[in-house]
Structure 1
Amino acid sequence: METKLYEDEMKKIQFRCGFSSGLAISCRGQGRERAGGLAIWWSDNVNYKINSYSLNHIQGEITNQDEEDAWTLTGVYGFPDENRKNDTWELIKNLSLTAL
């Protein structure tokens, strides 16, 4: 989900919500012109190892502390411009090659 927030703003919300770990990617722009911004937060009983991130995605591997199974969690913020929709699909295709 697009946050339209800067990293420091997202970190405050993260800790207020009780999440001990996370990654925040700042939005671009200022005021009403803000765009983008991504965040993922997790609690202590989840191990999330971030494999890659950009302005348009966060991807990592999740394992619960009491389980051995791992799986990939990927969040994608698609390119908002209509003429860049193909770039979103290319990003998803490339990320799928690195998923567990």
Structure 2
Amino acid sequence: MNLLAWNCQGLGVALTARNLKEECFRKKPHLVFLMETKQKASYVRKIRRRCGFTEEWIVNPVGKSGGRALWWSDTIMVNILFSSSNIIHTSMMFDTFSTPSYISFIYGPTDEADRRLCWQEVRIIRNYIRESWLCLRDFNDILSQSEKCGGQPRAWRKILNFKSFVADCELEDLGFDGPCFTWCNNRESLDIIYERLDKALGNLQLRELFPTLQVLNIDPAGSSDHHLLFI
């Protein structure tokens, strides 16, 4: 199974929509997860059809920020088990090949207190997981100081809180190929900051079921400050 996930920073930008369509036709993902679409369902649905997908789950933005979209083809069965402004938790089934039993699509809040609440929700989801589980996307957190370049070091309490969350959920970073950092603040010179905010985590059952799983960080050619993840 192929999966593409992206914090697109506004699906209404022509370059963003074009890059997304090109990646969908080039990589042929079975699922696409988008964050920060900043568009109502009717517009997101139009882009979904252009990218060749038939099924969807959409969370509308609040005002001019937020918005989530999960697209898939009718050849795969996706059950939405839980949905909120920051989490879409699903179970998967496909007739012709294996998929993770569960995939949680997460957008970590930028506010630290809200992020802790989000991690607690995922911990509750973990209590019901008995099979393979993939947990991915923009966590807005890092696991070590090496995942940041530029600016002030990340506060250790934030790193330890995130590491504790990952350990409590019995997840492991699945690594990556491609650029080391997935987000940039696009500032000049000494003010520029890079971070690896976007990642994929998996439990032991997932790693045993898919020993050759790969996570690719893909540069979207300037249409967003985040890279795409292709799994």
CA separation of 1:62/1:82 partners in 2, compared to 1, >3 Å: closer, same or farther? same
Distance across 1 between alignment mates of 2:128 and 2:66 = 24
Q: Deviation digits for residues 5-34 of structure 1, max 9, x if unmatched?
A: 2111111111111101010110001xxxx1
Q: TM-score, normalised by structure 1?
A: 0.82
Q: Which residue of 2 aligns with 1:97?
A: 127
Q: What TM-score does the superposition give when structure 2 sets the normalisation length?
A: 0.38
Q: Would you say 1:45 and 2:75 are equivalent positions?
A: yes
1:2 Cα deviation from its structure 2 partner: 2.3
What's 1:81 paired with? 111
Partners in 1 of 2:105 and 2:99 — Cα distance? 20
| Pair member with larger Rg | 2
SS across alignment from 1:52: strand
When the two structures are aligned, how many residues end up with a matched partner? 96
SS at match of 2:123: helix
Once the two structures are superposed, residues 51-89 of structure 1 have per-residue CA deviations (whole angstroms, 9 ceiling, x without a partner) of 111111111111112357661011111222133221121
Deviates more, 1:88-97 or 1:46-55: 88-97
Percent identical? 28
Runs of 4 or more, structure 1, over 4 Å off, are 67-70
Question: In structure 2, what is the equivalent of residue 60 of structure 1?
Answer: 90
Distance in 2 (CA, whole Å) between partners of 1:44 and 1:98 is 26
- Alignment partners' CA distance in 2, 1:87 and 1:63: 29
**Unpaired runs of at least 5, structure 2:** 1-34, 132-231
Unaligned 5+ segments in structure 1 are none
Structure 2 distance, partners of 1:17, 1:26, is 19
Amino acid at match of 1:50: I
Is it true that 1:7 corresponds to 2:37 in the alignment? no
**Aligned counterparts of 1:54 and 1:18: Cα–Cα separation in 2:** 26
What is the distance in 2 between the residues matched to 1:98 and 1:38?
Answer: 24
